[in-house]
Copies of this chain bind each other. A is one copy, B any other.
Amino acid sequence: MNSKHLTKGSRKPSPVRRGKLRLYSNRFCPYCQRVILVLDAKRIPYEVVNINLVNKPDWMFDKSPMGKVPALELDNGEVLYESLIIADYLDDKYNAHRLHAKDPLQKAKDQLLLKQFTKIINALLKTVSLGRIEHDEAQVISEGLAIFERELTDRPGPFFGGSRPGMLDYMIWPWCERSDVLKIYGKDYILKKEKYKQLMEWRKVMVEDEAVKKSWCSANTHIKYLQSSRAGVPNYDLLI
């Protein structure tokens, strides 16, 4: 997972061996982490090829549109991209340890919540690109989290998926792992932990999950990476 990120000029990896899966990824990309969480939670063996996103290898553009990661290469040469589509594919293909709710209504409600979470992600992206948190984004984030807080209160828990993390838990996790990064955008905006008691409990049990542990990074590491990225030289190989 912490292999060196390949750049322009690097040698194209050999074809994927029979029965294997290869994930083109990036150590600090939250969308990539989604796929890694699904692979690890379902205990599907895979290899990782890390890609330098500011200086992509030419051959990466043959793998996915604009060389986007995550991209999952199958042993027949087909490549899937888009984190949610890959996650669904893996859950459909590898039946053991299903992550989506079995009940169609519960699954649909989880999908609506995930759609809701996209608004939080967009507010975070805007915050990172501006380098400060604006009132509107702070509001989207706190209103969005309030919905998730209520939802956790209504569910048996401790996970959204029940007694163990399900697809919704893993699909929102990468941004929740990074939530303490927000503090670098000013001391005025620190997530008020007393407003999100259930979510704070959920975070505690999530970091104990075996799949989460595998890709987890500390807030300090995320901040260090983010600072390198803001300085224009993202240090993807920070953990090597």
Contact = CB atoms under 8 A, between A and B. Distances in A.
Given A80-B112, A112-B80, A104 B92 contact: yes
Contact of A81 (B86, B88, B93, B112): B112
A85 B112 contact: yes
A139 B84 CA distance: 27
Interface residues of A, number: 19
A76 to B, nearest CB: 9
The interface residues of chain A, by DSSP majority, are classed as helix
A189 interface: no
Interface in A82-139: 82, 85-86, 88-89, 92-93, 104-105, 107-109, 111-112, 115
A130 to B, nearest CB: 24
Contacts of A78: 105, 109
B85 A115 contact: yes
A90 to B, nearest CB: 8
Contacts of A93: 104-105
Given A82-B115, A115-B82, A89 B74 contact: no
B105 A74 contact: yes
A112 B82 CA distance: 8
Interface of A: 74, 78, 80-82, 85-86, 88-89, 92-93, 104-105, 107-109, 111-112, 115
